[in-house]
Structure 1
Amino acid sequence: MATISPLILRTSPLCLWTPHSNKPLSSLPFFTIPKSKALSILCSTKMEGSEITEDVAENSGANEIVKKKIFVAGATGSTGKRIVEQLLAKGFQVKAGVRDLDKAKNSLSHDNPALQIVKADVTEGSEKLSEAIGDDSEAVICATGFRPGWDLFAPWKVDNFGTVNLVEACRKLGVNRFILISSILVNGAAMGQILNPAYIFLNVFGLTLIAKLQAEQYIRKSGINYTIIRPGGLRNEPPAGNIFMEPEDTLYEGTISRDQVAEVAVEALLHPEASYKVVEIVSRADAPKRSYEDLFRSIKQR
């Protein structure tokens, strides 16, 4: 009986189509085929409507497609913890950067083999952060936030210099995907919202919003592929409406569940439409249910 030699793809891109999407996995960020072993496949092409797809059958023993490792700064925070949980739920490997390892062991699922907990304090400089992030992380999500107290420089140490340290660590390591959880009204003065009670209140603690805005501007000039997410007032309760997404410097009121903020951060990794964009989000009961692809695509780059 004649044998069929497996076809090894060398120069042409591999298109693997998801069962619930019209996008090839190879076009989505953070989906790769391991380079350590050759992937032998048999491909047959067929036409479905106006779309060409490929049926792929892997030889036994070939590696499966794997999702990359994501570093989360501020992983034990109220929002950061939810980001870690949602990343793990979607099958990502996660490196959780925390200041307090003991606290992390009590609040994170440290027995999950896909989760690695490492000590990382964004205020200690980019060199130590580079060691924490490591050369195995493919993206960084920054969900840090200062703790209110008597130190009026805390917002600048964490929300400004800390974020800058993370960006510099990414540049040293060649990590080219950065997602920041910021806040609406960071540019309130330019929006004519300088007398907005929320803008005044949030800046009472060491000019927090101004510190965040300075960090945003640094990210945008860094050359790194970024998504800056500006949520409204954060709620710990479950979602009570659909996500309403607008361009930067648009929203000046509204709230949103931390669960939804975490979801937007994770989805930004999966959708190229989120690249190099600043998005503002709140939750509204009357907002229509929209796909994340549609939401991110509706926001134009500036």
Structure 2
Amino acid sequence: MAAPLLQKNSTLPILLYHTPRYPLNRPFTGHSYFRTKSFSLLNSSKMEAAEITEEVERKPAGEDMSSKKKIFVAVATGSTGKRIVEQLLAKGFAVKAAVRDLDKAKTALSHENPALQMVKADVTEGSVKLAEAIGDDSEAVICATGFRPGWDLFAPWKVDNFGTVNLVEACSKVSVNRFILISSILVNGAAMGQIFNPAYIFLNVFGFTLVAKLQAEQYIRKSGINYTIIRPGGLRNDPPSGNVVMEPEDTLYQGTISRDQVAEVAVQALAYPEASYKVVEIVSSPNAPKRSYQDLFGSIRQK
């Protein structure tokens, strides 16, 4: 039987709880987030939708799912964004990679791939310039931005709030109606009764990062765009070490996941209508059963 868990409406300080099903297997390190059935932190990463009109054929993982659709990825040189670009290209998608520094991007991305187009774009510069970068040849946008921790307390709002809003407004200008956002677990920690959660407190020290992300999510949900909001647990740079666990919003406050798996979830969200208009929270566990992405997304009932 699972160990006890704090209820969502609990106002008590968080203790370390876990279940035998999803064991704790990593220590608290760096900038990480926390989750409900096991407990962790999420790294703040460096800055690193016309709906897809052709139905993507569902094929086994590893096969071409794209029919050569062009996907706009912002920001493509970040730790997670780079992996998203690589996986999109591996699936046969054409990719428009939004970067702030073209020279740096050429060393970070496989720029010789003919399916990859790099464009200079900064989400903080407004929706008009972003609309020009997205153009009329993009069919979906994946937002994998994240502010760089520092002394600028407005950075989370410039990037994770205003930057995300700018992208959604730009999508509207060019009639892109598919939008996938990489957010984080615990963004709605206060409503979950996690106001005393050390991770919630720690991350909001950096300019109320989680509050900025949550308000951006709320804007997306009210915009009418076809969205999938992905909230990963603590981000790891190492390869996957377990299977993806997917839960509804405001469920997780601990757990970790490889950035490779986060990228995979984002790419797979393009393939399945079950992913549309949903907020999902993800971690990984070696004890979790391997499930298809159609099953994972289909299991989530949106509030």
3-state SS of paired residue (1:113) = coil
Cα 1:271–1:16 change in 2 (3 A) is closer
Q: Distance in 1 between matches of 2:255 and 2:241?
A: 12
Aligned to 1:199: 200
2:253 pairs with 1:252: yes
> Which structure: greater strand fraction?
1
CA shift for structure 1 position 224: 0.4
CA shift for structure 1 position 287: 0.6
Aligned to 1:185: 186
Aligned to 1:110: 111
Cα 1:240–1:18 change in 2 (3 A) is closer
TM-score (norm 2): 0.79
Aligned to 1:144: 145
Q: Structure 1 counterpart of 2:186, which letter?
A: L
Aligned to 1:62: none
Aligned to 2:91: 90
3-state SS of paired residue (1:111) = coil
Note if contact 2:228-2:279 (Cα within 8 Å) is conserved in structure 1.
yes
Cα 1:17–1:72 change in 2 (3 A) is closer
Q: Structure 1 counterpart of 2:76, which letter?
A: A
Cα 1:15–1:293 change in 2 (3 A) is closer
Aligned to 1:10: none
Please list the CA deviations of residues 122-142 of structure 1 after superposition, one character each: whole Å capped at 9, or x if unmatched: 000000000110100000000
CA shift for structure 1 position 301: 2.0
Identity %: 83
Greater than 2 Å deviation, 4+ residue runs: 14-21
CA shift for structure 1 position 67: 2.5
Q: Distance in 2 between matches of 1:168 and 1:243?
A: 31
3-state SS of paired residue (2:280) = strand
2:164 pairs with 1:156: no
Note if contact 2:131-2:174 (Cα within 8 Å) is conserved in structure 1.
yes
Q: Structure 2 counterpart of 1:198, which letter?
A: A
Q: Distance in 2 between matches of 1:204 and 1:248?
A: 23
Note if contact 2:58-2:271 (Cα within 8 Å) is conserved in structure 1.
no
Cα 1:15–1:79 change in 2 (3 A) is closer
Task: Show the 5 A alignment for 1:56-135.
Answer: 66-135=67-136
RMSD: 1.8
Q: Distance in 1 between matches of 2:110 and 2:73?
A: 14
Aligned to 1:52: none
- Unaligned regions of 5+ residues in structure 1, if any? 1-13, 32-65
Cα 1:286–1:162 change in 2 (3 A) is same
Please list the CA deviations of residues 209-230 of structure 1 after superposition, one character each: whole Å capped at 9, or x if unmatched: 0000000000000100000000
Task: Show the 5 A alignment for 1:16-27.
Answer: none
Cα 1:241–1:17 change in 2 (3 A) is closer
Q: Distance in 1 between matches of 2:117 and 2:266?
A: 19
Cα 1:240–1:109 change in 2 (3 A) is same
Larger Rg computed on CA atoms: 1
Q: Structure 1 counterpart of 2:131, which letter?
A: S
Q: Structure 1 counterpart of 2:169, which letter?
A: E
Q: Structure 2 counterpart of 1:298, which letter?
A: S
Q: Distance in 2 between matches of 1:182 and 1:98?
A: 19
